[in-house]
Chains A and B, each alone.
Chain A
């Protein structure tokens, strides 16, 4: 499984976009995409944590005993989250204010733990760093895309600049909680339409290693197998 650095880097951007295709880390995406600066800030914060934790976990892969690897990963991730949290508090206090509880909650973002388990503990340090950059940017792109839709249509601005037509006809519900679900559902539907439903399924991403996989993994793959089972039962 030798892959070029470029493949590793670009895989996370579109083909295996962690948010839109694999539907991981949904909570921060829905919550922080109310405006573009928020979404961008969240994306960058998570990317920094992802790159650093990928590098460290990859470097420690021979040291960490297999049986206690998940707690070890959590400690590494939590340390970097704390570092990022302190940096944001010190240099961008406004962002800290608007992200609020979602900044410390990066620690339970399943993208980061998932990448540690599925990629960083099997690959070299450099590959893991590239994977972290790619996946992190994919997360950021998805967040900015959603935040753009929500901010332009919902508030009539983009990064604080007024957009002509939209600013006089705002649909403010889009910046609130229901709008998050709605825009996210719409984006996924558009993506499925564009790819004719050929987007890779969760199974190819190997979620099984993630401790919360059983909770979130029921989303994509088992939904199909459930409906298949029901069909089979109907046939019998």
Chain B
């Protein structure tokens, strides 16, 4: 139990996918302009990360590894994730239209999001058990949500500022991201000191 909490906190804060590991930067910069969009996107990411982990982990451990096909990981994972996202979208559209209305638009965007593929591969690389892998996926998704929400807040404040002409738009956004990322350094070492 202690280990699972440590995994969530590590994935969420210390190794934050966006701000410390640079995965999923495109949606982070693209969809973080408004808080509601940022929330919708992040919830969809959490959802897909969990489902993708639940499918890819057994695939790797029970199908690929025993048959000596570990090198097919990249091809299998990306295809499975892509078709999975399509299936989820069709399923939600038919049976849970309310959820589809709020998350549906973001689902196709996630297919080629490197954070989702990243979490699946790093679950295998870190040799997590199935439960640990699910917790890691949830923590990573949660970290994505936190980073998106924090940054959406920062960006709304930034609307009022007046940067030099050449910094307008993307450059000043990146520099703000750099400062937000700096603040996440405060978490390094925290997990070790709590959980030993």
Contact = CB atoms under 8 A, between A and B. Distances in A.
B4 interface: no
Given A182-B174, A185-B171, A188-B171, A211 B74 contact: no
Interface stretch (A35-43, A50-58, A99-107, A150-158): A99-107
A224 B168 CA distance: 10
A28 B82 CA distance: 21
Interface in B142-191: 164-167, 169-175, 177-179, 181-182, 184-185
B132 interface: no
A182 B178 contact: yes
Interface stretch (B55-63, B96-104, B117-125): B117-125
B114 A105 contact: yes
B74 A182 contact: no
Contacts of B181: 177-178, 181
Contacts of A74: 78-79, 82
Given A108-B112, A212-B26, A212-B109, A181 B79 contact: no
Interface string A161-173: 0000000000001
Contact of B114 (A108, A178, A189): A108
B92 interface: no
Interface stretch (A1-9, A76-84, A129-137): A76-84
A109 B166 CA distance: 27
B40 interface: no
Contacts of B21: 31, 177
A108 B30 contact: no
B67 to A, nearest CB: 16
Interface in A19-60: 23, 26-28, 30-31
Given A27-B114, A219-B29, A78 B178 contact: no
Contact of A218 (B19, B33, B114, B175): B33
B182 A178 contact: yes
Contacts of A160: none
A218 B34 CA distance: 12
Measured as residues with beta carbon below 8 angstroms from the partner, the interface class of chain B is 35 or more
Interface in A100-159: 100-101, 104-105, 107-110, 113
Given A185-B178, A216-B27, A218-B30, A190 B172 contact: no
Given A82-B74, A101-B118, A182 B175 contact: yes
Contacts of A63: none
Given A74-B79, A185-B175, A219-B30, A214 B109 contact: yes
A26 B25 contact: yes
Most chain-B Cβ atoms within 10 A of its Cβ — which of A75, A185, A214, A223? A185
Given A185-B167, A211-B111, 5 more contacts: A28-B22, A30-B22, A79-B75, A189-B164, A220-B170
User: Which 3 residue pairs spanning A and B have beta carbons closest together?
Assistant: A185-B174, A181-B178, A216-B26
Interface of A: 23, 26-28, 30-31, 71, 74-75, 78-79, 81-82, 85-86, 100-101, 104-105, 107-110, 113, 173, 176-182, 184-186, 188-190, 192-193, 197, 210-212, 214-220, 223-224, 226
